[in-house]
Amino acid sequence: MANPVPSACCVVLAAVVVVYAQRHSQQETHIQYERVGADVTMKCGSMDWDAAVTWTANGTDIDESHLNGSYLILKNVDLTQSGQYSCYEGSSWHLKYQTCLRVGTPPKEPVLMCRSNNYPKGFYCSWHLPTPTYIPNSFNISVIHGTREMVCEKDVFPKNRCHIRYLQLFSTVKYKVTLTVTNALGKNSTTLTFDEFAIVKPDPPESVVAKPVTNNPRRLEVSWQNPSSWPDPESFPLKFFLRYRPLILDQWQHVELSDGTSHTITDAYAGKEYIIQVAAKDNDIGTWSDWSVAVHATPWTEEPKHLTTEAQVTETTSASTSSFMPPPTTKICDKG
């Protein structure tokens, strides 16, 4: 007679596979957005209120104390409760409904900044939220010059920035830029109004180099280049601001330079390491750039002389002997 045990095992295994397949069967997933701190109710699709159901969160069974009939009730939700919730019919584990709960917040007023670092070509605007919302946000920006709406071409990277090309230079008409942020829980906006001269701010100077000057223990030669983003330094020249200090002090010394891309520091402390930075600004309009990357340099110091011949050794020894004076000694009193 055949042994019935293997057949029974196969039946049990098949049942487990069926239940697993039912619990993980394909089902349309709905997205539900809720605010942090809200009380959330989730329905099991079209199931009746009094239907026998089972809920899971990210694959883990949910205690029946969170159920009101077939409804799932979550009190005062927080960020940790975001995830996929699934509802199954009774003990058959037939998947009836899935919802992806996303807990977050409505957006606060966005931070908007507009700047021209390549004047007179145009300017860019960038933005960010002061605090995260934890759910997807969409941003819409409008740029109006007088009565004309302009196109703000969005960058691929970073995604929170776009560029506007000037269509008319030296215009006294102000620009109005409005940024609106929207998500499933609310929206917010902010507006900037400015003229084209007010937002001109070059990028920092580049390739800053500082070197000691031979035989000059108090001098440092500093040179730099115009920022590569500044398109026409001949027609729109830059002026520069140099700051420097020895590492042993906290106070900076400053020099403003109306032209040229080099300067000689003449009052450095001999043998002290210096930190040096440069900023740039259009000669007539706008504001100063941020400081350049800091560079370090130490003024020239004379190398110590080394004895190289026997005559120098003899001469030095003789001179040292003849000029040697023994230090005074303290007389020790004899004990009587």
Sequence-distant (6+) residues with CB within 8 A of 238 are: 202, 226, 230, 280, 281, 282, 283
pLDDT digits (tens, 9 = 90+) for 11-62: 333 344 344 444 444 456 799 999 999 999 999 988 999 999 999 999 999 9
Per-residue pLDDT, 227: 98
Q: Are residues 230 and 169 in the same domain?
A: no
Q: In the structure, what pLDDT confidence band is assigned to residue 266 with cuts at 50, 70 and 90?
A: very high
Q: Are residues 186 and 241 in the same domain?
A: no
CA dist 222 and 255 (Å) reads 12
CA dist 144 and 175 (Å) reads 6
Q: In the structure, what pLDDT confidence band is assigned to residue 332 with cuts at 50, 70 and 90?
A: very low
Per-residue pLDDT, 93: 81
Q: Please say whether the beta carbons of 243 and 326 come within 8 A.
A: no
How many folded domains does the chain comprise? 3
Does residue 34 lie within any of the structural domains? yes
Does residue 186 lie within any of the structural domains? yes
**Can you point out the beta strands (E) in 105-137?**
111-115, 122-128
Q: Are residues 118 and 173 in the same domain?
A: yes
| Average pLDDT for 62-87 | 95
Does residue 19 lie within any of the structural domains? no
Which domain CATH number covers 69? 2.60.40.10
- Of 194, 224, 248, which closes a domain? 194
Does residue 310 lie within any of the structural domains? no
Order of strands, edge to edge, in the sheet holding 153-154?
111-115, 122-128, 161-165, 153-154
Per-residue pLDDT, 298: 97
Q: What residues form DSSP beta bridges with 95? A: 88
Q: Are residues 81 and 151 in the same domain?
A: no
Q: What value does the mean pLDDT of the chain take?
A: 86
Q: In the structure, what pLDDT confidence band is assigned to residue 326 with cuts at 50, 70 and 90?
A: very low
Per-residue pLDDT, 32: 95
Per-residue pLDDT, 4: 46
Say what percent of the chain tops pLDDT 90: 73
Q: Are residues 145 and 210 in the same domain?
A: no
Does residue 201 lie within any of the structural domains? no
pLDDT at 160 over 50: yes
Q: Are residues 228 and 258 in the same domain?
A: yes
Tally of CB atoms within 10 A around 97? 22
Q: Are residues 67 and 131 in the same domain?
A: no
Q: Are residues 117 and 190 in the same domain?
A: yes
104, exposed or middle or buried, with CB in 10 Å at 0-12, 13-18, 19+?
A: buried
pLDDT at 302 over 90: no
Q: Are residues 161 and 93 in the same domain?
A: no
CA dist 163 and 70 (Å) reads 52
Q: In the structure, what pLDDT confidence band is assigned to residue 10 with cuts at 50, 70 and 90?
A: very low
Sequence-distant (6+) residues with CB within 8 A of 182 are: 107, 137, 138, 139, 140
For the whole model, what pTM was predicted?
0.74
- Of 76, 104, 132, which closes a domain? 104
Provide the residue range defining the domain that includes 81.
29-104
Between 61-75, 170-184, 315-329, the lowest mean confidence (pLDDT) is in 315-329
Does residue 328 lie within any of the structural domains? no
CA dist 85 and 96 (Å) reads 11
Does residue 20 lie within any of the structural domains? no
Does residue 246 lie within any of the structural domains? yes
Closest to 278 measured CA to CA, from 228, 229, 222, 230: 222
- Of 104, 134, 156, which closes a domain? 104
